[in-house]
Amino acid sequence: MSEALDLEGWSCPLPLRDQPNIIMGHGGGGRLSAELIEHLFVPAFAGTQLADVLRQLGDAAVFDLGGARLAFSTDSYVVHPRFFPGGNIGDLAVNGTINDVAMSGASPFALSVGVILEEGLAIDELGRIATTMGEAARRAGVSIVTGDTKVVDNGHGDGVYINTTGVGLVQAGLDLGPHRVRAGDVIILSGSIGMHGIAIMSVREGLEFGSDILSDSAPLNGLVATMLASGADVHMMRDPTRGGVAATLNEIAAASSTGMKIVESSIPVDEDVRAACGFLGLDPMCVANEGKLVAFVAPEHADLVLEAMHGHEYGRGATSIGMVVEDHPGLVVAKTGIGGTRVVDFALAEQLPRIC
Amino acid sequence: MSEALDLEGWSCPLPLRDQPNIIMGHGGGGRLSAELIEHLFVPAFAGTQLADVLRQLGDAAVFDLGGARLAFSTDSYVVHPRFFPGGNIGDLAVNGTINDVAMSGASPFALSVGVILEEGLAIDELGRIATTMGEAARRAGVSIVTGDTKVVDNGHGDGVYINTTGVGLVQAGLDLGPHRVRAGDVIILSGSIGMHGIAIMSVREGLEFGSDILSDSAPLNGLVATMLASGADVHMMRDPTRGGVAATLNEIAAASSTGMKIVESSIPVDEDVRAACGFLGLDPMCVANEGKLVAFVAPEHADLVLEAMHGHEYGRGATSIGMVVEDHPGLVVAKTGIGGTRVVDFALAEQLPRIC
């Protein structure tokens, strides 16, 4: 914790904050996305009774209704292309929202599905996507209960965009979030990173990386239930999607006013993904995942939760990657392979547009 | 009830059911939309625990969770143009989903907002839309609690598409739906029809109809609460959006296996709207509304609920327009101004694409 920070290599791109129009980066889950939410949507939506919930900016809103403690989360999926190694936009949309609900500690229960279809889309293709959605929902034990279909004219969509919104039940007494993250917490990652982003990139760019890299798209509600059932004192969970593990750790460092210290060599990255990232000039920590989670756990419970995770199919590769520190609040610092340290920055925009 | 049906003029367009691609009509709220849901989405999503809820095909799914009885509804808004007389895509998205939740008898509580932005959209315009959304939510007493932002490249969107999903609480013992609609029920319409559709059409086509026709976009949760508080035995409610009153009555006739008999001259249509419909060759009963509801009420309670509605700003023009009959189940029959009868058909597709 007392190592001197090496601030060289801290990326500080010129901000493009004053441009008057939406650019791709506003949807990338990076700083531009965060600024749009913080400076445009949050003020516009303020003043309603639950404005505080919105301001938490969590993956899911958690609130009481009719005696139940609900988690509620929405995501639109615009991934391009719609079919990619390891999945398609349909299972991505189901798993993604299940995961956002689950990260609040809730058990996801029901999903809504809203599709925006582009005129000309093959109905057969829509059928394959919908079938995959049903399969994903059944696998996760979550019901699709309501939906909506809109069609836009050719040239105003891209085949199909899907919004899924999920509702789940938070068990009594459970309280997860950045307010519970504190110095000493062990940071646990559920498995190897970067697979979803590289899978998309490979098919989009027609790249071949020797073997197929498959998206890791998976429902994490079962893994979360297993972790909570272990009795471990989990303080927070988040799935590192857009912006990758780097964005997730930075957001939580900022929201919890803590520092994060990670050991780069402890972060699992498959060889194929590492090679592809090298080829493409990407940092695996900034690449999107769709079936991984980061958890912050009381240090005395880290082994307990890791053992529980190792017994679950989506947690076999779980490992601790670092810890929360009092130093440098808001900053994520990595110990590099060559023994130095670097600041793990929060990308200004996304490296890979339309990744989910 | 014993009048002979005049089946002449029953429109029976050649169905285009075998085309392999999505056409605009699949999003119009007409028969093609219904077929896509019934034959593609419902089978694909079957087999989850709440599949029966989906099959109800109501505006909102209603189910129990954690002791609460929840209503849950989603809608994506792709209206073109984004700004129109009487509103914009933002307040439409808030009011529309509030109304879908309210039609189940629920009190809408929280909304999620998912936006799909097109690269190049003016941030100022997005700000105006978001501000309108916040105003609409505050006016209706509903909170926007969570959201998501995606950006698609230029040429794959149309400025902004908005998904709103709402959750609300159904009071204990309340049970509304087509299964409660029965012969003898009085059909009540909350006010004059066709305003939203004609407002969109006028600006889209650059038409002038003498005076401005404004969209009727409004939140109906207060009106619904007033109706239920009156103590009247309301059997079902629905807001006649895409496809208008004609589609709504046909859907309910089919779902409840009853017939509907309405008196055309009793349906309130503003003079400007009637003139515009005449000019455009549209039947006002097929034109979309965004601030009206149709209610089915036990006959002995019709006056009670009408009186309650007349005391609410969005129910001042409420009137009974017909009744549910045992004859001709599944058919909606109108007594015309010249004393004949006609079958009010369910349009194959929409008259006005991208109306909401």
pLDDT in tens, A234-254: 999 999 998 899 999 999 999
Compute the distance between CA of residue B95 and CA of residue B215 in angstroms, rounded to an integer.
12
The pLDDT assigned to A349 comes to 62
The pLDDT assigned to B12 comes to 35
- Name the phi and psi angles at B83, rounded to 5: -115, 135
Q: Answer yes or no: CATH 3.30.1330.10 is held by domain A58-169.
A: yes
The pLDDT value recorded for residue B256 is 94
Residues in B closer than 8 angstroms to A354, CB to CB, are: 150, 152-153
Question: Where is pLDDT greater, at A35 or B8?
Answer: A35
The pLDDT tens digits of the residues spanning A324-350 come to: 999 999 999 999 988 899 999 876 666
Instruction: Kindly provide the ipTM of the predicted complex, given to two decimals.
Output: 0.92
| A178-343: CATH number | 3.90.650.10
Q: How far is CA A51 from CA A35, A45, A55, B91, in A?
A: 17, 7, 6, 18
Domain ranges of chain B: 58-169, 178-343
User: In a 10 Å sphere around its CB, with 0-12 CB exposed, 13-18 middle and 19+ buried, how is residue B153 labelled?
Assistant: middle
Average pLDDT on A19-39 reads 86
Q: What is the pLDDT of residue A99?
A: 98
pTM over 0.90: yes
Confidence bin at A3 (pLDDT 50/70/90): very low
Say what the pLDDT of residue A345 is: 86
Q: Is B88 exposed, middle or buried (0-12, 13-18, 19+ CB in 10 A)?
A: buried
The three-class DSSP label of residue B202 is helix
CA pair distance A81, A147, nearest whole angstrom = 23
| pLDDT for res B273 | 95
Q: Which pLDDT belongs to residue A281?
A: 87
**Considering only CB atoms, which chain A residues are within 8 Å of B146?**
53-54, 58, 60-61, 72-74
Rounded mean pLDDT of A99-122?
96
d(CA A231, CA A317): 20
Provide, as residue numbers in chain A, all residues whose Cβ is less than 8 Å from the Cβ of B31: none
Q: How confident is the model at residue B351 (pLDDT cuts 50, 70, 90)?
A: low
Q: What pLDDT is recorded for position B348? A: 65
Task: Using CB atoms, pick whichever of B110, B123, B153 lies closest to residue A20.
Answer: B123
State whether B44 and A114 contact (CB < 8 Å).
no
Q: What is the pLDDT of residue A13?
A: 36
Distance, CA of A219 to CA of A244 (rounded, Å): 17
pLDDT-derived band at A277 (thresholds 50, 70, 90) equals: very high
Q: Quick check: A352 pLDDT over 80?
A: no
Which residues of chain A have a CB within 8 Å of the CB of B159?
A: none
Higher pLDDT among residues A279 and A140, named by residue: A140
- The strand order across the sheet containing A160-169 reads A61-65, A68-77, A160-169, A107-118, A143-152
Mean pLDDT of chain A: 90
**In the beta sheet, which residues pair with residue A324?**
A260
Predicted local distance difference test score (pLDDT) of residue B353:
83
Reported as a pLDDT band with limits 50, 70 and 90, residue B17 is: low
What is the distance in angstroms between the Cα of A55 and the nearest Cα belonging to chain B?
Answer: 8
How far is Cα B56 from Cα B76, in angstroms, rounded to an integer? 20
| Range scoring the smallest mean pLDDT among A54-58, A80-84, B340-344 | A54-58
Closest CA to A226 of A314, A111, A298, A299: A314
pLDDT for residue A78: 97
pLDDT digits (tens, 9 = 90+) for B200-212: 988 887 777 666 8
Q: H/E/C letters for each residue in chain A?
A: CCCCCCCCCCCCCCCCCCCCECCHHHHCCCHHHHHHHHHHHHHHHCCCCCHHHHHCCCCCEEEEECCEEEEEEEEEECCCCCEECCEEHHHHHHHHHHHHHHCCCCEEEEEEEEEEEECCCEHHHHHHHHHHHHHHHHHHCCEEEEEEEEEECCCCCCCEEEEEEEEEECCCCCCCCHHHCCCCCEEEECCCCCHHHHHHHHHHHCCCCCCCCCCCCCCCHHHHHHHHHCCCCEEEEECCCCCHHHHHHHHHHHHHCCEEEEEHHHCCCCHHHHHHHHHHCCCHHHCCCCCCCEEEECHHHHHHHHHHHHCCCCCCCCEEEEEEECCCCCCEEEECCCCCEEECCCCCCCCCCCCC
Question: With b meaning 16 or more CB within 10 Å and e meaning fewer, what string describes B233-257?
Answer: bbbbbbbbbbbbbbbbbbbbbbbbe
Residues in chain A with CB shorter than 8 Å from the CB of B161 are: 116, 150, 152, 161
For residues A166 and A50, which has the higher predicted lDDT (pLDDT)?
A166
Dump pLDDT digits (tens) for B139-180: 999 999 999 999 999 999 999 999 999 999 999 889 999 999
Classify burial at B211, counting beta carbons within 10 Å of its beta carbon; exposed 0-12, middle 13-18, buried 19 or more: exposed
**Cα gap B30→B350, rounded to integer Å:** 6
pLDDT in tens, A293-303: 999 999 999 99
Q: What is the pLDDT of residue B14?
A: 36
Q: What is the mean pLDDT of chain B?
A: 90
Cα(B326)–Cα(A167) distance, rounded to whole angstroms?
39
Average the pLDDT over B83-91 and give the result. Answer: 96
Average pLDDT rounded to a whole number, residues B187-198: 97
pLDDT reading at A210 higher than 70: no
Q: A76: nearest CA in chain B?
A: B114
User: How far is Cα B54 from Cα B38, in angstroms, rounded to an integer?
Assistant: 10
Distance from CA of B65 to the nearest CA of A (A): 7
Closest CA to A77 of B152, B137, B94, B183: B152
Q: What is the average pLDDT across B104-128?
A: 96
Question: If you count residue pairs, one on A and one on B, with CB atoms under 8 Å apart, how many are there?
Answer: 308
B266-279 pLDDT, tens digit each: 999 999 999 999 98
Q: Tell me which H or E stretch contains B319.
A: strand B319-325
Q: Which chain B residue has its CA at the smallest distance from A123's CA?
A: B21
Interstrand relation of B143-152 and B259-263 (parallel, antiparallel or unpaired)? unpaired
Are B40 and A145 an interchain contact pair (Cβ–Cβ within 8 Å)? no
* CA distances in angstroms from B152 to A158, A227, A314, B117, listed in the order given: 9, 36, 31, 6
**Contact at CB, A22 and B151, closer than 8 angstroms:** yes
Q: What percent of chain B has pLDDT over 70?
A: 90
Q: Mean of the pLDDT values across residues B291-315? A: 98
